[in-house]
Amino acid sequence: MPDTATTDQTYIVRTYGCQMNVHDSERLSGLLEGAGYVRAADGASEADVVVLNTCAVRENADNRLYGNLGHLASVKAGRPGMRIAVGGCLAQKDRGEITRRAPWVDVVFGTHNIGALPVLLERARVQDEAQVEILESLDVFPSTLPTRRESAYAAWVSVSVGCNNTCTFCIVPALRGKEKDRRPGEILSEIEALVAEGVCEVTLLGQNVNAYGSEFGDREAFAKLLRACGQIEGLERVRFTSPHPRDFTDDVIAAMAQTPNVMPQLHMPLQSGSDTVLRAMRRSYRQDRYLGIIERVRAAMPDAAITTDIIVGFPGETEEDFEQTMHVVREARFSAAFTFQYSKRPGTPAATMEEQVPKEVVQARYERLVALQEEISWEENKKQVGRTVELLVAEGEGRKDGETRRMSGRAPDNRLVHFAVGSTPADELPRPGDMVSVQVTYAAPHHLNADGADGGSAIKALRRTRSGDAWQARQEQPEGERRGPAVALGMPSIGQPAAAAQADNACGVC
């Protein structure tokens, strides 16, 4: 691709939504840097190009977008030559509506043509008019595009894009299309290249990740892929998100249990524990099947941490339906649950269903569910006290680490652990990407602590890694070239990479 920008032009990407959007934003950043742009150091007010990578998950998603665009209008008025681009699911959905309501936007592009962004920006500059390009199907598989990875030690790797399901609450299939699978060799080659660069953990990513292989007719393809990851030297941790209970088979459980670098962690969306509601959602499993999967996973991996997504107040949900959800939560004993009040998604069947549950009822149920899950999460975390765990040291996970003389890391089961470093000299501290062994001393509902005796270090063993070397090499780059957490996320964060995040209201990976 020819250069379309001079090196003094800057950009920023703001991301809202699911892991797919986070990874897409890494590609958007890679494309822009390949075209000569440099990431802005001081945010949108100083950037020459602002890209909003949108999500269409909530009923008020457009309000959020137009509110942001309204703010940017005044910024742009004082910065001649500034350009604004809007992409992602909401752009795919609203198309020409964006430039009608916000005529100061320069580029609108969809989920199927993110690779066109630099060209569209240049065309908007030359022609001095808005460029809107929305494709109905994928033109280039996103993984072939340049990527600006936001972590030196952990990476997303897409195995597929799109989804073949028809959940009544979800607009994703309409915006991202039918499932398209990458060939196993392409995926493994990407992982091997990442490991060669210093990455030690990958998260396999798909809209319905364990349906991988359906396009080329191999129902065991995902289990085979997990086992193949186990053969990659230097790859220490493999995770995946998110599977669908319909497609979750015993060969995947066996592959997880038998492949040492596949972590004992599973995010399995439930959405509802009521068979009636699941039927209305067009979720093709029922309570018994879901709990059966959880039971078999725990039999194969007793220490596995299982998390989930739950929607409260789906249209028609009765008190009895909600109690069935509470029953599943009690039985499954999730280590964490991402709970959401049902939000209408315009364009989905559920948005027009009768029997919308009153807001006050939804709120009361939501609070009861959160209280129950908080209790369970705390009880499950207390079981970790006294255990010695090996942590992958993380960047940006502990907001109070500086005040408490702690650093943070992720256990194999993805639990967040803050560990004391005491008065350890700076040059002896572990680096993000290194591995440390610590003993858990305290449990809270959402994290664990490992503290040393008399305020000292909790580190029992430190293993410096190639991933830590890669992180350090980034820090030693000139400030303008340094890569770090650059994607501003509009949702709660739970895992790796450091900028990773869980889906907003179960959209995107469900």
The DSSP string of 291-313 is HHHHHHHHHH-TT-EEEEEEEES
pLDDT at 283 over 90: yes
pTM score: 0.84
Average pLDDT, the chain: 88
Q: Nearest-5° angle of CA 206, CA 211, CA 213?
A: 100
Contact 394, 409 (CB under 8 A): yes
Residue ranges at the known binding site for [4Fe-4S] cluster: 18, 55, 89, 163, 167, 170
pLDDT at 2 over 50: no
Contact 482, 41 (CB under 8 A): no
Q: Which of 4-13, 307-316, 388-397 has the lowest mean pLDDT?
A: 4-13
Distances (CA, A) of 257 to 22, 270, 295, 405: 29, 22, 14, 36
pLDDT computed for residue 493 by the predictor: 35
Q: Which of 168-182, 247-261, 270-284, 402-416 has the lowest mean pLDDT?
A: 168-182
Whole-angstrom distance, CA of residue 274 vs CA of residue 324: 5
Residue ranges at the known binding site: 18, 55, 89, 163, 167, 170
Q: Which H or E run contains 438?
A: strand 435-439
Confidence of residue 275 (pLDDT cuts 50, 70, 90): very high
Q: What is the pLDDT of residues 154-196, one digit of tens each?
A: 998 999 988 899 999 988 777 778 888 999 999 999 999 999 9
Q: What is the pLDDT of residues 33-69, one digit of tens each?
A: 888 999 888 666 789 999 999 887 666 677 788 888 9
pLDDT computed for residue 178 by the predictor: 84
Alpha carbons within 13 A on the beta-carbon side of 392: 28
Q: Is 85 left (phi over 0), alpha (psi -120 to 50) or beta?
A: beta
